[in-house]
Amino acid sequence: MNIGIVGGGQLARMLALAGYALDFHFKVLDPAPDACAGQVANLIQSEYDDEIQLNRLADWADVVTFDFENVPAAAAQILAERVAVYPPAQALAVAQDRLYEKTLFWELGIPTPVFATIDSLEELQGAAIRVELPAILKTRRLGYDGKGQRVLRAPADILPAWQQLGGAPLILEGFVPFEREVSVLAVRGRDGSTQFYPLMENHHREGILRLSQAPYLDRILEHQAWNYANRLLDRLHYVGLLAIEFFVHEGRLIANEMAPRVHNSGHWTIEGAETSQFENHLRAVLGLPLGSPTALGPCAMLNCIGVMPERAAVLAVPGAHYHAYGKAHRPGRKVGHITLRATDQNALRQDLERLLPLVGYPPDEFGAIG
């Protein structure tokens, strides 16, 4: 079976690595000549609006999927005229715009931070009073890893934030003084069957995910997260893997955003779950039976930001698996991750304590781990 992927970053690379074992073949389409999935799959180097190249991909593939949500709607449309495309275009449209996303959450009864749409300085000034400071001003589109965001702590922050971000449609969100951040992965097949992965706890710094741990053992929150995910899968007639990020505040889930694709917080599933998120996404979009999402033990994933740690030192830690993305090292860039699986929480904590300095994180980076 032939699978086309729009976007050739590390997510496409890991989809291809998971799929070769199942005898699938991959072509990835990306404008960058050094797109890292091109090291393991056939690369069509092309802009996302190049109709000839999109048609080439569509004619070769049995199904086309994405490794990022900001695929231009026109590209998805061109592909969909010739080949099955999953996840559905509607899911992309929702995930591309924080306003549509939060509005859909709200319609489905999924709690969100208070929010207001902002198109002028006057609207921002008015909304800052209604939403109350502190609040976060975000671009509606094309923000990731904390980019395109400014925290407003006091009225004096309003004008500089507007001057920095005001050229684009914006949303103002109430700042949630969360206890922790969690996420959930759900997958839905072409036949409507579903599977839900255990809840995961995530630690960010400077807007970038650093550490995920799974399972995060809170059965009540986990069922709530599965329930919210199910509402989204249903409403969007979703096919593929969907990730949702939440804040936990006063024991409740508050949805931050969703990603209609495999997700960084789910990389632990490569060695830590019966079926990885990558394999399950492929099974879903190809109409194959879904695999079990059960965790095989306490797991963690550490992102390598900017530079990869020394391979031998990582591999000396029991249960550690080294995943380099084949990307040039650059500050702030995700260049790989380390997956950890342990027999119990104590062992996981000990292994993490050995790994933290290797990836350049201070030993107390995440407070009391475990």
Residue ranges binding ligand AMP (CB under 6 A): 113, 136, 143, 146, 173, 175-176, 181, 204, 207, 256-257
Min. distance of Cβ 321 from ligand AMP in angstroms? 25
Give 257 or 279: the residue with its C-beta nearer to ligand AMP: 257
Tell me the two tokens of residue 335: 């260049």
- Taking a C-beta distance cutoff of 8 angstroms, is the pair 197, 294 a contact? no
HSE-CB for 320 with a 13 A CA cutoff: 27
Min. distance of Cβ 96 from ligand AMP in angstroms? 13
Tell me the two tokens of residue 267: 């990389």
Determine the Cα angle at 67 with ends 64 and 70, to 5°: 100
Give 180 or 349: the residue with its C-beta nearer to ligand AMP: 180
DSSP state for residue 273 in the 8-state scheme: B
Give 181 or 222: the residue with its C-beta nearer to ligand AMP: 181
Give 213 or 256: the residue with its C-beta nearer to ligand AMP: 256
Min. distance of Cβ 9 from ligand AMP in angstroms? 17
Please tell me whether the peptide bond between 177 and the residue prior to it is cis, using omega within 30 degrees of 0. Answer: no
Q: Which residue is nearest to ligand AMP (CB)?
A: 176
Min. distance of Cβ 180 from ligand AMP in angstroms? 10
Min. distance of Cβ 267 from ligand AMP in angstroms? 16
Phi, psi at 26, each rounded to 5°: -130, 140
DSSP state for residue 290 in the 8-state scheme: P
Instruction: Bin 97: left if φ > 0, else alpha if -120 < ψ < 50, else beta.
Output: beta
Min. distance of Cβ 294 from ligand AMP in angstroms? 26
Tell me the two tokens of residue 316: 């000396």
Min. distance of Cβ 240 from ligand AMP in angstroms? 20
Distance of CA 53 to the CA centre of its chain: 27
Give 143 or 240: the residue with its C-beta nearer to ligand AMP: 143
DSSP state for residue 288 in the 8-state scheme: P
Give 196 or 247: the residue with its C-beta nearer to ligand AMP: 247
Give 95 or 317: the residue with its C-beta nearer to ligand AMP: 95
* List of residues 6+ apart from 299 with CB closer than 8 A: 213, 214, 215, 268, 269, 271, 272, 273, 339, 340, 341, 342, 348
Give 194 or 212: the residue with its C-beta nearer to ligand AMP: 212
- Taking a C-beta distance cutoff of 8 angstroms, is the pair 232, 108 a contact? yes
- Segment (H or E) for 138: strand 135-139
Question: Helix (H, G, I), strand (E, B), or coil: what is residue 194?
Answer: strand
Tell me the two tokens of residue 132: 């109350």
Give 150 or 323: the residue with its C-beta nearer to ligand AMP: 150
Min. distance of Cβ 220 from ligand AMP in angstroms? 22
Min. distance of Cβ 146 from ligand AMP in angstroms? 4
Distance CA 228, CA 253 (A): 10
